[in-house]
Structure 1
Amino acid sequence: MEKFKFAIKRYKNDQLRVINDKADREEEFELAKIKNEANNKNEDVFKRMEDNIKVAEKIFKSRKTNECRMSEMKVRFDMVEKIEEDAKAKLKIQKADLPTYRALLKQLIKQGLIKLLEEDVEIRCLREDEALVREVMGGCEREFNEECEVKTKIVVSTQNYLVAADLGGVTLTSLKGRIVCDNTLRARLSYCLQLLLPEIRELLFHDSDLYLAQRKKEKKEADLQRRRAVAENQKH
């Protein structure tokens, strides 16, 4: 009987030890699992933080780059605008030279007549220039009629004068204002500036990063168009 009790007790103890060992292993496994998940979670958190920092750095760098470009573009715009204002001031001074301005008005009127090629033409000018315009328009009309098949008649508008911002020059209209040739000094100056803008930029901003990048882009586009044209010619 004692041996039987001892065997039962030992079996019981063995089972308890097995259960305890299994419980310890399961506990260690769960602890390791929890720790691993925590580590992975921390790694994910740190990875997201690192990615967010990189994105923020890129955004900051891009914003600063754009700010620099906008600042440089504003400087360029202001400098070109300053050139335009200086040119306007010089035009006002040159207008005071009446022989030179008279010859210029004659050229502007004749050019407008050639562009319009109409029989009835109305001229608008500054009120202060009306006498000078009347002085030269007769010769312009006569020379135009001698050189062209169209015979034109010029009148000066006394109801609708140019404004001071036009600087001077003339506007020629026909067909009750439906056809207009703007030969004011303001319009001619704007046209000249547009033609000379590439040279002005080259002169003022030839060492600018933004200008160099723009020139590189323009050259790349021109090369691409040239290659496309060559490819089209080869097809035909």
Structure 2
Amino acid sequence: MALSDADVQKQIKHMMAFIEQEANEKAEEIDAKAEEEFNIEKGRLVQTQRVKIMEFYEKKEKQIEQHKKIQMSNLLNQSRLKVLKARDDMIVDLLNEARQRLGDISQDPARYSALLEGLILQGFYQLLEPKVTVRCRQQDVEMVQAAIDKDIIVYKDTVKSNIVVRIDQNRFLASDICGGVEVYNDNGKIKVANTLESRLDLMAQQMMPEVRKSLFGPNPNRKFLD
């Protein structure tokens, strides 16, 4: 029996409703899958970016920490250098004050005369030459000659050898020298510098560790005391 037009239209509508329902379900399935894939990809991208951001800031933090350490090290070194500079300046001032006081020694004739005798005799012993020349300040010639006369006797008695000594009358020590003498061998190639300034410099070198310890205390970085 043939279907009427109404039945055909009804079946067509039924088929269209079924197709539309299938299409909607398929679309919903596609949307759900797309949403799921979107969320997965979004999560992956967010996690990737989070890791990158964390790595970036960790790197920045390490750089900042390293920079702080370098700055602290530089500041510490600068501070140490300033302390060392201040200490060196204090030592220089101390030595300058000592040099200024050297002139007082020659102002005391008895003390200066005894000092000259010791300085000249030491020059004799260091050279051990039969002929020596003594150079002094022009104003000290008389006092130096008196010291030489005494020292010759002591030298001959100790060394059991003669010595001829002359004072250089052509070249005197500079006027700014505080005192003392220079003793030369006969040809002038060997010199014993026994001016007050040279003796002070020698004593300063020898006693510098003790001076620094007295002024600034023991050196904490020094491991050996010998």
When normalised by structure 2's length, the TM-score is 0.78
Instruction: Give the whole-Å Cα distance in 2 for the aligned partners of 1:199 and 1:182.
Output: 24
Q: In structure 1, which of residues 217, 220, 227 is the aligned counterpart of residue 221 of structure 2?
A: 217
Distance 1:204 1:39, change over 3 A: same
Distance 1:70 1:24, change over 3 A: same
Are 1:119 and 2:130 an aligned pair? yes
Q: CA deviation at 1:166?
A: 4.0
Structure 2 stretches of 5 or more lacking a match?
Answer: 1-10
Instruction: Give the whole-Å Cα distance in 2 for the aligned partners of 1:4 and 1:67.
Output: 92
* Higher mean displacement: 14-23 or 187-196: 14-23
What do the CA deviations read for 1:18-68 (whole angstroms, capped 9, x no partner)?
554444333323322222222122212221222222223222322232232
SS of 1:56's partner is helix
CA contact (8 A) 1:117 1:150 kept: no
The alignment of Structure 1 onto Structure 2 pairs a total of residues equal to 215
> Quick one: which amino acid aligns to residue 60 of structure 2?
M
* Higher mean displacement: 57-66 or 93-102: 57-66
Are 1:70 and 2:81 an aligned pair? yes
Structure 1 stretches of 5 or more lacking a match?
Answer: 207-211, 226-236
Q: CA deviation at 1:159?
A: 4.1
- Equivalent in the alignment of 1:49: 60
Distance 1:9 1:114, change over 3 A: same
Q: CA deviation at 1:107?
A: 0.8
Find the structure with the greater CA-based Rg: 2
For the aligned residues, what is the CA RMSD? 2.9
Q: In structure 2, which of residues 96, 99, 108 is the aligned counterpart of residue 85 of structure 1?
A: 96
What is the correspondence of 1:8-23 to structure 2 with a 5 Å cutoff? 19-23=30-34
CA contact (8 A) 1:170 1:184 kept: yes
Are 1:187 and 2:219 an aligned pair? no
What do the CA deviations read for 1:79-117 (whole angstroms, capped 9, x no partner)?
222222222222211211122211211110001110111
Are 1:37 and 2:48 an aligned pair? yes
SS of 1:104's partner is helix
Distance 1:39 1:119, change over 3 A: same
Which has the larger share of helix?
A: 1
When normalised by structure 1's length, the TM-score is 0.75
Instruction: Give the whole-Å Cα distance in 1 for the aligned partners of 2:186 and 2:21.
Output: 124
Q: CA deviation at 1:187?
A: 1.5
Instruction: Give the whole-Å Cα distance in 2 for the aligned partners of 1:107 and 1:37.
Output: 89
Percent identity, aligned pairs only? 26
